[in-house]
Structure 1
Amino acid sequence: MPSRQPRQHPLVRLLAAVSLITCLTLTMAAPPEANAQTSTQQVSVKSASFATQIDDGRRYEMIGHGLFTYLVWDAYAGAYYQAAGYPRPAPESDVPRRLVLHYFHAIEADDFASTTLEAVREQVGAVDFPSIRRPLTALVDSYRSVAPGDRYSLTWDGESLILALNGAPLYRSNDKALANAMFAIWLGEDPLDRDFRDALLGR
């Protein structure tokens, strides 16, 4: 299947504008996940490094990693993990899984909130969106602004959805439909960018 060009999502438009203004090459060491043991094996995506395994009481193994690029701007790097014993990608399921995104640019919390609301609405459609709007609103209200080198992680541990910034939990919910909608932004059938999705899924 031919690769589709990434949609002009507001978040990547924002990142493009920041890059045009700053014209800086940003390199920062990756912060470790709090309270998690990581393997000594690492993979690198530009200045970001990701452990191939993470253990925070459950062992997660990397499925894939990649770089989200809009035009000539590198927005963020990502790595996708699933619980050990689940090597086949299953981003919308009960399988415990984690998505880690490493940002190369500063982004305000309000921008995360507005773009997430729009992206989830596109993923689930107008009919189903009202059913998850309340927990989704609580999730986006928990966002914090990021600086270059910061990382957001999204985890479904089999029972709960956990949003964390640099390993510190900001939000938790047991809403499976919300979890699937959030993961689908990057890993679903109609993601922000198919090439990035395919890299995360190890295709």
Structure 2
Amino acid sequence: MHITPILAITLLLGLALPALGNERLREANFTRQVQLEQNALELKNQDVLTYLWVDVYAAAFYAAPDTRPDIAVDERLSQRLELYYFRDIKREDVIKAAWVTLERQHNNETLERLRPLVDALHQHFADIRSGDRYALAYHPDRGLTLERNGETLFNSADPLLARAYLGIWLAPNGLSDKLRDNLLASRE
């Protein structure tokens, strides 16, 4: 069998990509457990979002130890989504991607209700630098919290905002169905 250069590169990339993903997850260095209010949440799943062969960020999903990730999302239980960025991204590009996704996921009536809440959250965004760590945490009593590099920037008790904004990553038709499926997979 004759292997062309393109086939050889494709095979090498196919073999190297899982290893690169594992290396990226080690770089992200997600902790095994986080504290949210009085609840200890454990790392359920992690994955790397790759766009056009470029690793953009690693994502980790946390929920209560005895809770499946999909159940935590569906039943609005305590949860945390953490993103570790490998690339610099302009604030405007992040906001644009968020709105494109929200518009794909929600009807006009819901979007109008969300607009002032999302705009308030977006006011706390800054240009992302490689190595930045953002987190969205949800607690049923406290609502949604946005953190950047361990600092709390924003909090909202509105359950619609929490569900919609976490849904950018965790609901159908979000940024990446593959990422969503991997973050919410049951590992029993």
Question: TM-score, normalised on structure 1?
Answer: 0.73
Query: Alpha carbons of 1:110 and 1:44: their partners in 2 closer, same or farther (altered >3 Å)?
Result: closer
Which runs of no fewer than 5 residues in structure 1 stay unpaired? 1-42
Other-structure match for 2:35: 55
- 2:14 is matched with none
Q: What is the DSSP-based 3-state SS (H/G/I as helix, E as strand, rest coil) of the residue aligned with 1:138?
A: helix
Q: What is the CA distance between 1:147 and its match in structure 2? A: 1.0
Q: For the residues of structure 1 that align with 2:155 and 2:25, how far apart are their CA atoms?
A: 28
For residue 30 of structure 2, what is the amino acid of its counterpart?
Answer: F
Displacement of 1:170 in angstroms is 1.0
More helix by share: 2
Q: Which residue of 1 aligns with 2:76?
A: 94
SS in 2 for 1:106: coil
Q: CA–CA distance in 2 between the matches of 1:85 and 1:46?
A: 25
Q: Residues 50-97 of structure 1: CA distance to partner in whole angstroms, max 9, x if unpaired?
A: 112112442111121101011211111000011343234232432011
Task: Report deviation, 1:152.
Answer: 0.6
The 8 Å contact of residues 82 and 135 in structure 2, kept in 1 or not, is answered as: yes
Are 1:166 and 2:149 an aligned pair? yes
In 2: Cα distance, 1:179 partner to 1:125 partner: 17
CA–CA distance in 2 between the matches of 1:169 and 1:100? 13
SS of equivalent residue, structure 1 residue 50:
coil
Length, aligned pairs only = 161
Equivalent residue number for residue 64 of structure 1:
45
CA RMSD after TM alignment? 1.8
> Which protein, 1 or 2, shows the higher relative CO under an 8 Å CA cutoff with sep ≥ 6?
1
Could you tell me how far 1:202 is from its partner in structure 2?
2.6
Query: What one-letter code is carried by the residue in structure 1 that aligns with 2:46?
Result: H
1:178 to 133, 149, 161: 161
Instruction: List alignment gaps of at least 5 residues for structure 2.
Output: 1-22
**Maintained 8 Å contact 1:120/1:185:** yes
Which residue of structure 1 aligns with residue 180 of structure 2? 197
Q: Which residue of 2 aligns with 1:136?
A: 118
TM-score, length basis structure 2: 0.78
What secondary structure does 2:106 align onto? helix
Query: Is the Cα–Cα contact under 8 Å of residues 66 and 79 in structure 1 kept in the other structure?
Result: yes
Q: How far, CA to CA, are the matches of 2:56 and 2:123 in structure 1?
A: 22
2:139 is equivalent to residue 157 of structure 1: yes
CA distance in 1, matches of 2:148, 2:99: 18
Look up the match of 2:96: 114
Change (3 A) 1:88 1:143: closer
1:92–1:184 contact (8 Å) kept in structure 2: no
SS of residue paired to 2:107: helix
Residues of 1 paired with 2:94 and 2:145: CA distance? 16
Q: Percent identity?
A: 30
Counterpart-to-counterpart distance in 1, 2:62 and 2:49: 17
- 1:168: Cα distance to partner? 0.5
